[in-house]
């Protein structure tokens, strides 16, 4: 009898804490003291850990900016490396607060996976990487070729569409992990490797023994707006995540940089700059953040342009042109709604 009572008591004890409702994302982040950020397991330029466990990349920088804006400290990020297959459930289940893992924004994902995309960090398109010695000049010449691809990505479906539309009859070899897919490509199992062009550049320039041995074909076969996503059901957190990204983009537009942000915050008389730095209007209050949330974010990682140049731009091994990712007034697509 005693044992029964004990068992029931244990069952109840287990049930009570779980019954309580989880707080809002922002509150729980403040309480935990860190932002749990889902990142790629290793894609140089986007998110990659060195052997010391330090993360860098443009996706990682966004997480740092978010942590700086919310907690005032860019180091308060818990990185959760995720495979393509794991990422959505990790976000849905609350294991991570934000998914910043070069994820393509599509209707199906937005509407049925229980998440909200907050914007686009990198406008991309899918391409093919082939060995230079295969002398292939166009994807259309690869009839019947085997193509290595990572599972659980939009790339897998785009490849199918492209192959169908052009009657190429390509054979996908699908891997769960990107290391396995690139490993198989480099060993010669596949005639081509396909993923977003930025990913191809990353693989070619960082993982190939000699980048010149591999060529990225000119065709881009899809639109791949890559951006972070948050869980549905918390509009306040959605707004914060969105505006940190917009803020970083707008900071570039108004030449607010990592180096000058504190000086500008103190001295600038430009009304737009004063609003962004929280000097004139307290936009932070509207979001539930500190007044100088944008100053902290820019101070931590720089503006969007600096993030781009540092991680993937022409001066990095990835050597990606600014292209579509330039500011709207410089011929690109990056256009942030105004902070006001």
Partner 1 sequence: MRRPSARKRWSWRSQAFRGLLWQVVAVLLVGFAVWFLAHNTLENMRARGIQSGFDFLKGPAGFDIGESLIPYDALDPYWKAFLVGILNTLRVAIIGIGVATLFGTLLGIGRFSANAIVRGLCYAYTETFRNVPILLQLLFWYLVFTEVLPPVAEPVSVGPFLLSKAGFSFPWWVEGRWSVPAPGAFSMEGGASATPEFMAVLMGLVFYTSAFIGEIVRAGIAAVPKGQVEAASALGLPRGLQVRKVILPQALRVIIPPLTSQYLNITKNSSLAVAIGYPDVVSIANTSLNNTGRAVECISIIMLVYLVTSLSTALFMNWYNKRVAIQER
Partner 2 sequence: MKKKSWIRKNLFANAWSSLATIVFAVLVVAYLPGLLNWMVVQAVFGPNVDACQAARGTGACWGVIAEKWRLIVFGRYPHLEQWRPALATVLLLGLLFASCVRKFWTLWLVPAWIVVWVVFFWLMHGGLGLSVVPTDQWGGLPLTIMLSTIAIAGAFPLSIFVALGRRSKLPAIRTLCTVYIELVRGVPLVSILFMASFLFPLFMPVGKSPDVLIRVIVGLILFWAAYLAETVRGGLQAIPKGQLEAAASVGLGYWQTQRKVVLPQALAIVVPAVVNTFIAIFKDTSLVTIVSLYELTGALSIALNSDANWRPFKIEGYLFIAALYFTFCFAMSRYSLWVEKQVHHG
Task: Give residue for tokens 């550049």.
Answer: 201
Part in contact with partner 1 (CB under 8 A); list of ranges 28-36, 72-80, 84-92, 332-340: 84-92
Q: Of 215-244, which residues contact partner 2 (CB under 8 A)?
A: 231
Rg (the chain; Cα; Å): 22
Site membership for partner 1, residue 113 (CB under 8 A): yes
With binding defined as CB under 8 A, does residue 184 bind partner 1? yes
Biggest alpha carbon–alpha carbon distance for the chain: 80
Is the CB of residue 228 less than 8 Å from the CB of residue 87? no
Which partner in partner 2, partner 1, none is near 140 (CB below 5 to 8 A by kind)?
none
The yes or no reply on residue 83 touching partner 2 (CB under 8 A) is yes
User: Rounded to 5 degrees, what angle do the CA atoms 276, 330, 229 make?
Assistant: 55
Contact partner at residue 191 from partner 2, partner 1, none, CB < 5 to 8 Å by partner kind:
partner 1
Q: Check residue 90 for interaction with partner 2 (CB under 8 A).
A: yes
86 near partner 2, rule: CB under 8 A: yes
- Give the contact letters, 178-217, x = binds to partner 2 (CB under 8 A), - = no: -xx-xx--x-------------------xxxx--------
Interaction between residue 170 and partner 1 (CB under 8 A)? yes
Beta bridge partners of 78: 36
Q: How far is the CB of 61 from partner 2 (least distance, A)?
A: 20
Backbone dihedral angles phi then psi of residue 111, each to the nearest 5 degrees: -90, -30
**Pick from partner 1, partner 2, none: which does 2 bind, CB < 5 to 8 A by kind?**
none
Helix axes 58-71, 304-311, angle to 10 degrees: 140
Q: According to the binding rule CB under 8 A, does residue 53 interact with partner 2?
A: yes
The one segment of 92-100, 125-133, 218-226, 317-325 that binds partner 2 by CB under 8 A: 92-100
How far from chain centre, in Å, is Cα 5? 50
Residue 209, binding choice from partner 1, partner 2, none, Cβ under 5 to 8 Å by partner class: partner 2
Tokens in use for 83? 């495979």
Site for partner 1 in 124-163 (CB under 8 A): 142-146, 148, 151-153, 156-157, 159-161, 163
Asked if residue 149 lies in contact with residue 181, where contact means CB atoms within 8 angstroms, the answer is yes
Angle CA 269–243–285, to nearest 5: 65
Choose among 293, 259, 260: nearest CA to 278: 293
Minimum Å gap between C-beta 210 and partner 2 is: 8
Residues 95, 84: Cα–Cα separation, whole Å:
15
152 in contact with partner 2 (CB under 8 A): no
By CB under 8 A, tell whether 1 contacts partner 1: yes
Please tell me whether residue 4 binds partner 1 under the rule CB under 8 A: yes
CA distances from 278 to 61, 251, 291 (A): 22, 13, 5
Distances, alpha carbon 86 to alpha carbons 40, 42, 95, 188, in Å: 10, 14, 11, 27
Q: Scanning the structure block, which residue is given the tokens 């023994």?
A: 209
Identify the CA nearest to 104 among candidates 128, 120, 115.
Answer: 120
Q: Which of 73, 110, 156, 176 binds partner 2 (CB under 8 A)?
A: 176
Q: Return d(Cα 154, Cα 181) in angstroms, integer.
A: 15
Q: Does 263 bind partner 1 (CB under 8 A)?
A: no
Choose one: 88-96, 136-144, 156-164, 283-291; the region binding partner 2 (CB under 8 A): 88-96
Q: Which residues bind partner 1 (CB under 8 A)?
A: 1, 4, 7-8, 11, 15, 18, 84-85, 88-89, 92-93, 108-109, 112-115, 142-146, 148, 151-153, 156-157, 159-161, 163-164, 170-176, 180-181, 184, 187-189, 191, 231-233
């Amino acid at each position: 009898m005693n044992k029964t009572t004990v068992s029931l008591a244990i069952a109840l004890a287990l049930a009570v804490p779980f019954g309580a409702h989880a707080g809002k994302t922002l509150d729980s982040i403040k309480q935990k003291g860190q932002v749990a950020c889902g990142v790629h397991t290793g894609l140089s330029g986007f998110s990659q850990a060195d052997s010391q466990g330090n993360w860098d990349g443009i996706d990682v920088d966004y997480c740092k900016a978010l942590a700086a804006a919310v907690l005032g400290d860019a180091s308060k990020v818990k990185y959760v490396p995720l495979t393509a297959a794991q990422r959505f459930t990790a976000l849905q289940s609350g294991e991570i607060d934000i998914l910043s893992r070069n994820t393509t924004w599509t209707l199906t994902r937005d509407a049925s996976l229980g998440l909200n995309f907050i914007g686009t960090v990198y406008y991309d398109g899918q391409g093919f990487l082939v060995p230079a010695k295969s002398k292939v000049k166009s994807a259309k010449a690869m009839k019947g070729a085997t193509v290595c691809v990572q599972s659980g990505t939009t790339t897998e479906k785009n490849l199918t569409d492209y192959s169908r539309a052009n009657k190429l009859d390509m054979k996908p070899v699908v891997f769960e992990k990107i290391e396995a897919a690139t490993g198989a490509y480099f060993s010669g199992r596949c005639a081509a490797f396909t993923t977003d062009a930025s990913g191809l550049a990353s693989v070619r320039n960082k993982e190939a023994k000699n980048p010149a041995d591999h060529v990225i074909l000119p065709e881009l076969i899809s639109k791949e707006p890559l951006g972070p996503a948050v869980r549905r059901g918390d509009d306040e957190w959605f707004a914060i995540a969105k505006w940190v990204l917009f803020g970083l983009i707008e900071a570039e537009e108004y030449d607010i940089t990592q180096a000058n942000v504190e000086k500008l915050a103190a001295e600038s008389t430009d009304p737009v700059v004063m609003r962004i730095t929280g000097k004139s209007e307290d936009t932070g209050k509207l979001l539930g953040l500190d007044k100088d949330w944008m100053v902290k974010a820019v101070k931590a990682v720089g503006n969007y342009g600096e993030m781009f140049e540092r991680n993937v731009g022409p001066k990095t091994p990835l050597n990606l042109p600014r292209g579509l990712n330039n500011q709207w007034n410089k011929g690109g697509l990056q256009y942030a709604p105004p902070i006001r």
